Amino acid sequence: MDEFALIDRYFRRQTVTREDVALGIGDDAAIVVPRSGEQLVAAVDTLVAGRHFPDWFSAAEIGYRALAVNLSDLAAMGAEPRWALLALTLPEVAAAWLDDFSTGFLDLARKHRVALIGGDTTQGPLTISVTLLGVCERALTRAGAMVGDAIFVTGTLGDAALALALDADDDGESAGRLRAHFSRPEPRVAAGLALHDFAHAAIDVSDGLLGDLGHILRASKVGARIDGRCLPTSAAARALFTPERILTAAATGGDDYELLFTAPAQLEASIRDRLAGCDCPVTRIGTIVAGDAFELSGLDGVPMQPARTGFRHFAT
Amino acid sequence: MDEFALIDRYFRRQTVTREDVALGIGDDAAIVVPRSGEQLVAAVDTLVAGRHFPDWFSAAEIGYRALAVNLSDLAAMGAEPRWALLALTLPEVAAAWLDDFSTGFLDLARKHRVALIGGDTTQGPLTISVTLLGVCERALTRAGAMVGDAIFVTGTLGDAALALALDADDDGESAGRLRAHFSRPEPRVAAGLALHDFAHAAIDVSDGLLGDLGHILRASKVGARIDGRCLPTSAAARALFTPERILTAAATGGDDYELLFTAPAQLEASIRDRLAGCDCPVTRIGTIVAGDAFELSGLDGVPMQPARTGFRHFAT
């Protein structure tokens, strides 16, 4: 089987049909038709085997994740995802693996009405690079945070990092929930779209809360005070780990794919209402302050200094 | 140095500024603004070390090629390239390599006014995946070839394949020209745009003339007669190889990145004029015929059947 047959067989099974796709998989390039006046939003993320997912991930989980991390990027822009391109490098053509991988990818694509419009399949060490295109009316960037803004985060933090800290033979219900949070993160697409009307700045928490907050602070030229006692954590985490361990994971662990955003404090009730409408919990965790000050208070309310400030792919 | 600093240091040196880039490198996603009514064209191609370029390629040649193969895809659609995203997986952070790679990439981007708007840098086996976005008014697809159309190809064929057949110690002028054709293919962007007014169907010759012509024939549901004596070959090839060896390379060798297109035969003079205006030689090599017949005549004018019909990444 050659690469063309491959693409046909597994990826043409998608059931998303969009009228704005003028030409999909199968020519030199794909053609889509944005509506007049729409801004186009584009993000690319690569997953490398052994680095961005553990060995125990199923092919379906890898496929899901490859799209989910990009959906999370577009969610953080307040954008509506529409079209994806998949660059898939595989060591070999394994039918069962491709079947599972494409199912994980296409199921998530269907849920968010994303059409797979093109791709490239090559032979080599397992690497998956997804480009996701979408549109937005007004983009949420990292640069708009204002002094006095409240800082919010969706969902819970630290679960993905704690899933990796579990014993391999821990098969209890709480362990299962942490692992599911890590392997099937829920990109906050609807929440990102809803935040248009409220947020001044936004980012997704992929590298860890403090590292990603740092991006907002630098881009917006402001500081922040975060109350460690307010960080939202899950019941599953609390059932298995100490409060100190959970705080560290929530502050510095990566891969949670929640949204971190700032907005005027007086909008808190409206934000909570609106996000409840898309089934998305939200927690206020701190305040934007002037200058470049940054303070995280610990479980005792006393300022602390975490050792790690976020995941780095090429840490020296 | 972490990945963020990397992207800053090497890829922000681009000198292409486009007014339609609302947000470039450095946020969760990039934002661009197509003009009202423009169709968006998107292509992705991946280069894997040891598979899509030989060991002797310089980093600058790899960077050039990563963008050139995508430019060639957009050229074959008759599209205007505008914005690129680069997913770069590297075994290590090597400053000299990155400097060369980004120079090769950005020099070609500048030549075609393509802005690098985003990317992702990860650690792993060397893999480069570029997504190229552009726009077009009317796309050239593979599906429009009509019975009676003449078949044309730009430039010369077979040089890239013959470059790989050279002895490593052949350092003559002709050998240098063949190697340059292979390592720095000239994407036919201006020619593709000019073909709007003439061509019925188009593809770029990346996998070999016969393989890529096959895509047009299947998509257009037509057949073809090709005269092997008409295939355009270079003086460098003729100086070093036998006519039979050159014909095989021209018919089945990959990596030439010329445009193969069909158009009404009576437009030949106009096409020749227009492509001369963008410094692009063009040759008529055959005719589209009814049915699914395919015939290639050899150097003696007698129909032949080449053994290979095009490069396949996952040939079984």
Say what the pLDDT of residue B314 is.
35
Whole-number percent of chain A with pLDDT over 70: 94
Band of residue B37 on the pLDDT scale cut at 50, 70, 90: confident
CB of A133 within 8 Å of a chain B CB? The answer is: yes
Largest CA distance in chain A: 62
Q: Is the pLDDT assigned to residue A228 strictly greater than 60?
A: yes
Task: For residue B127, give both structure tokens.
Answer: 């893999």
Same domain, A130 and A154: no
* Mean pLDDT in residue range A97-104: 94
CA-based nearest residue in chain A for residue B316: A1
Asked if the structure places residue B314 within a domain, the reply is no
pLDDT tens profile A112-136: 999 999 989 888 999 999 999 999 9
pLDDT tens profile B38-89: 899 999 999 998 888 888 899 999 999 999 999 999 999 999 999 999 999 9
Compute the CA torsion angle B296, B298, B304, B310 (nearest 10 deg): -60
Closest by Cα among B1, B211, B195 to B94: B1
B221 vs B73, B210, B217, CA distance in Å? 22, 15, 6
Q: Is the pLDDT assigned to residue B247 strictly greater than 50?
A: yes
Q: Select from B7, B27, B70, B316 the residue whose CB has the most chain A CBs within 10 Å, as the one to mutate to test that interface.
A: B27
Whole-number percent of chain B with pLDDT over 70: 94
Please give the mean pLDDT across all residues of chain B.
91
Say what the pLDDT of residue A93 is.
84
- Is residue B21 within 8 Å of A22, Cβ to Cβ? no
Query: How far apart (Å, rounded) are the C-alpha atoms in residues B193 and A259?
Result: 42
Q: Is the pLDDT assigned to residue A315 strictly greater than 80?
A: no
Say what the pLDDT of residue A27 is.
87
Query: How far apart (Å, rounded) are the C-alpha atoms in residues B259 and B281?
Result: 11
**Span of A93-97, A234-238, B87-91 with lowest mean pLDDT:** A93-97
Closest by Cα among A46, A41, A39, A83 to A62: A46
Query: How far apart (Å, rounded) are the C-alpha atoms in residues B292 and B288?
Result: 10
Say what the pLDDT of residue A9 is.
79
Instruction: Among A88, A108, A136, identify where a domain stops.
Output: A136
Say what the pLDDT of residue A230 is.
96
Say what the pLDDT of residue A176 is.
96
The angle at the Cα of B306, spanning B300 to B311, to the nearest 5 degrees, equals: 140
Task: For residue B116, give both structure tokens.
Answer: 């690098």
Strand order in the sheet with A21-23: A21-23, A30-32, B39-48, B127-136, B80-90, B115-123
Band of residue B310 on the pLDDT scale cut at 50, 70, 90: very low
Asked if the structure places residue B290 within a domain, the reply is yes
Same domain, B165 and B256: yes
Asked if the structure places residue A122 within a domain, the reply is yes
CB of B314 within 8 Å of a chain A CB? The answer is: yes
| DSSP 8-state secondary structure symbol assigned to residue B49 | B
- Please report, for the domain that includes residue B63, its CATH number: 3.30.1330.10
CB of B301 within 8 Å of a chain A CB? The answer is: no
Band of residue B308 on the pLDDT scale cut at 50, 70, 90: very low
Query: How far apart (Å, rounded) are the C-alpha atoms in residues A12 and A17?
Result: 11
Tell me the residues of chain B between 249 and 278 that have a Cβ less than 8 Å away from chain A: none
Same domain, A158 and A290: yes
Say what the pLDDT of residue A10 is.
85
Same domain, A101 and A214: no
Say what the pLDDT of residue A114 is.
97
Query: How far apart (Å, rounded) are the C-alpha atoms in residues B212 and B205?
Result: 6
Asked if the structure places residue B270 within a domain, the reply is yes
Same domain, B168 and B241: yes
pLDDT tens profile B263-300: 999 999 999 999 999 999 999 999 999 998 899 999 98
Closest by Cα among B186, B174, B178 to B160: B178
Same domain, B176 and B292: yes
Q: What share of chain A is helix, strand, coil (3-state, %, to 5)?
A: 35, 25, 40
B23 vs A33, A257, B88, B115, B242, CA distance in Å? 20, 22, 20, 11, 53
Amino acid at position A287, single letter: T
Structural domain that includes position A39: 3-136
Say what the pLDDT of residue A26 is.
83
Same domain, B158 and B90: no
Give every CB contact of residue B151 below 8 A, 6+ residues apart in sequence: B213, B224, B226, B260, B261, B262, B284, B285, B286, B287, B288
- Is residue A125 within 8 Å of A67, Cβ to Cβ? no
Interior/surface letters A30-55, b for 16+ CB within 10 angstroms, e for the rest: bbbbbeeebbbbbbbbbbbbeebbee
CB of A131 within 8 Å of a chain B CB? The answer is: yes
pLDDT tens profile A7-44: 667 888 877 889 999 999 888 899 999 998 889 999 99
B314 and A123 within 8 Å at the Cβ level: the answer is: yes
- Please report, for the domain that includes residue B267, its CATH number: 3.90.650.10
- Is residue B285 within 8 Å of B227, Cβ to Cβ? yes
Asked if the structure places residue A314 within a domain, the reply is no
**Structural domains counted in chain A:** 2
Band of residue B316 on the pLDDT scale cut at 50, 70, 90: very low
Say what the pLDDT of residue A2 is.
60
Same domain, A109 and A203: no
Same domain, B154 and B295: yes
Same domain, A73 and A212: no
pLDDT tens profile B160-183: 999 999 998 999 999 999 999 999
Say what the pLDDT of residue A229 is.
96
Task: For residue A107, give both structure tokens.
Answer: 């199921």
CB of B34 within 8 Å of a chain A CB? The answer is: yes
B79 vs A78, A161, B41, CA distance in Å? 29, 44, 7
Say what the pLDDT of residue B290 is.
96
Compare A313 and A294 and report the one with higher pLDDT.
A294
Instruction: Among B136, B165, B188, identify where a domain stops.
Output: B136
Give every CB contact of residue A33 below 8 A, 6+ residues apart in sequence: A20, A21, A22, B39, B40
Asked if the structure places residue B311 within a domain, the reply is no
| Number of residues that make up chain B | 316
Please give the mean pLDDT across all residues of chain A.
91
Q: Is the pLDDT assigned to residue B150 strictly greater than 70?
A: yes
Same domain, B295 and B156: yes
Burial of A73 (0-12, 13-18, 19+ CB in 10 A): buried
Paired residues of A237 in beta bridges: none
Pick B1's closest partner by Cβ from A120, A134, A314: A314
B74 and A36 within 8 Å at the Cβ level: the answer is: no
Asked if the structure places residue A316 within a domain, the reply is no
Upper half-sphere CA count for residue A27 (Cβ side, 13 Å): 27
Task: For residue B48, give both structure tokens.
Answer: 């894997």
Asked if the structure places residue B211 within a domain, the reply is yes
- Tell me the nearest-neighbour CA distance from A307 into chain B, angstroms: 17
Q: Is the pLDDT assigned to residue A90 strictly greater than 70?
A: yes
Same domain, B162 and B62: no
Instruction: Among B136, B164, B183, identify where a domain stops.
Output: B136
Say what the pLDDT of residue B312 is.
37
Q: Select from A3, A27, A45 the residue whose CB has the most chain B CBs within 10 Å, as the one to mutate to test that interface.
A: A27
CA-based nearest residue in chain B for residue A50: B124
Compare B304 and A241 and report the one with higher pLDDT.
A241
